A and B are shown apart, each in its own frame.
Chain A
Amino acid sequence: MNGTAPASATALRRDRLAAWVMVVPALLLTLAFALYPVAQSLMSSLRRRFLGVPALGDTFVGLENFRLLAQDPVAHDAFARTLGFVLLSTVLEVALGVAIALVLHEQFRGRGWVRAAALIPWAIPTVVASQMWRYIFNDQYGFANLLLYRDQVARYEPWLASPAWAFAIIIFADVWKTASFAGLLVLAGLQVIPDELYDAAKIDGASAWQRFWHITLPLLKPALLLALLFRTMDAFRVFDLVFVMTQGGPGDATQVLQFYGYKTLFTEGRMGYGAAISVSVFAAIFALSLIYIRTVGSRLLGREDR
């Protein structure tokens, strides 16, 4: 990194060797279980092959799978649905996250407990959260119906059987599960805004709302961006919620890309076509993470330019 051609090559070489030895195990694991699989998926996406059925052959078909994908209405729907899910859930999560952060930023007794409570949705397994919401929105025993209709049993709604409601509930459950994570990122951003600025704004006659709008929000921009990108990339991978709550249904109403890919790969065993779906999801997320690294990644590790 420093542009010197050192005269003392051996000492440096020894240090560098130690540094490499330290990162090699991590690199090897990453290579074997992250990079190689991605490359392998890429290769698979150009072939026609079936899981566990070598008899059906394994032939190179070029971009055939992608051509199929481009014409597959189910995939199109899944893609549009995933996009809608990502957009709605991340915006709601970050908005709610700001609210959570504003609450947690205040000084009050028992703040540690409130913070712990807010962390619980993030900490519990998504599978458990999915079962909880599935139960709450159950048509007979669910809390939602109990709350809305009490003993008017006839009006009880089978929420998860309605395509629109099922999709909305998946988004709702995701927001519930991850808004606190977004909130923590925002909170970290809030904590670096100096109090002096608020004092100065108060002296300048700004109302609480004006202070939020003209000071907090602009200075929070990097944290908001970070939260938004983190959540976007994670929302693209939604799977557990769908698997537990709806299995993609009713119909295909909640079938998102990762679930469609999972079904194609492991229930239908179409390794080639499934790989083409995977590669497409990967490409979308990769593009997003490139944006992420370009906008915020370089600031994170300041020490390398010493």
Chain B
Amino acid sequence: MTSRLPLRLGIAGLVLGSLFPFVWFLITSLKSQHEIEAVPPTWWPSGSLEFYRTALFDHHLLDYVLNSVIVAGGTTLLSLVVGTPAAYALACLRLPGQRWLMGGLLCISMFPQIAIAGPIWEILNRIGGLNTHWGVMLPYVTLTLPMAIWILASFFAELPTELEEAAQVDGCSAWSALWRIMLPLATPGIFTASILVFIYAWNEFFFALLILTRPEQQTLPVGIALFQGEFTMPWGELAAAAVLATLPLVLLVILFQRWIVSGLSAGAVKG
């Protein structure tokens, strides 16, 4: 075999390149204010947890975390509840124009936020959805539906047609076939879709910025984007907040990278 050296270099470059900014923020978050302000910067932190304390308590980080949990969790739940039957119908039942519906969904997932932002703001303004969690969840669910439906539809389509037919012969209606047979078999798909929808909703910034203007409802990305100090940019607190906001995602990725990879490439290379 040829030398493994290029591969080793590639792996090292990949890991280092991917993690470096995160690591630098982690280092920063563990410094003291004095170390932060040193010019030139210090390389190693003293290991102070002061910034985590101030981020959590002075900057009310936990409130943002809570808002993000509500919004991302709610979006995930709703998107799957709405998306699963739709995906099943599109993948397994005879629906006229299903090709167009799937194509249309794909188009919608590519909509630029700006093209719908104005009217969505006006709708929410009219129905009192501005500065509410449900107000931001409505566009989130809509925009994550295409992703959820495509992932789930590709899972449903891979289940043998015979199973569904056996269920029909055994006395199932379309609904009970979905609930009793197809759904239990598609749990990996549901899981994958949930993770991806959750990550989307956890990270989304544009609509959150637009719809949530009061800090009490704002989610983490808005909080972090608008992070301000009284006089100077509070980099230490920001780094601590960013590390805390990212930690759940890092955990998700480490635990479920296999599902994430399968979900991201779902449908991409079939045929």
CB neighbors of A among B145-174 (8 A): 145, 149, 153-154, 157, 161, 173-174
The docked-state distance in angstroms from the alpha carbon of A12 to that of B141 is: 31
Partner of B90, one of A23, A35, A233, A278: A23
The docked-state distance in angstroms from the alpha carbon of A298 to that of B260 is: 24
| Minimum C-beta distance from B1 to chain A (A) | 11
The docked-state distance in angstroms from the alpha carbon of A286 to that of B101 is: 16
Q: Is A66's CB within 8 Å of the partner chain B?
A: no
Partner of B95, one of A16, A277, A285: A16
The interface residues of chain B lying within 8 Å CB-to-CB of A29 are: 82, 138, 141-142, 145
Contact-residue bracket for chain B: 35 or more
Q: Are A239 and B116 CB-contacts (below 8 A) given A23-B95, A25-B82, A119-B257? A: no
Chain A-chain B contacts (Cβ-Cβ < 8 Å), number:
333
Q: Are A18 and B242 CB-contacts (below 8 A) given A29-B141, A281-B115, A289-B110? A: no
Question: Which residues in B have some Cβ–Cβ distance to A below 8 Å?
Answer: 2, 4, 7, 10-11, 14-15, 17-19, 21-22, 24-25, 28, 36-37, 39-41, 43, 82-83, 85-86, 88-99, 101-103, 105-108, 110-123, 138-139, 141-143, 145, 149, 153-154, 157, 161, 173-175, 178, 199, 202-203, 205-206, 209-210, 220-222, 224-225, 227, 235, 238-239, 242, 245-246, 249-250, 252-254, 257-258, 260-261, 264-265, 267-271
The 4 closest A-B pairs by CB, nearest first: A188-B265, A37-B116, A37-B119, A22-B85
24 examples of A-B residue contacts, CB within 8 angstroms: A12-B94, A19-B94, A20-B95, A23-B85, A30-B142, A34-B142, A37-B117, A37-B123, A99-B10, A108-B4, A108-B11, A117-B19, A126-B203, A127-B225, A142-B41, A145-B40, A149-B40, A285-B110, A289-B110, A297-B102, A299-B271, A300-B102, A301-B102, A302-B271
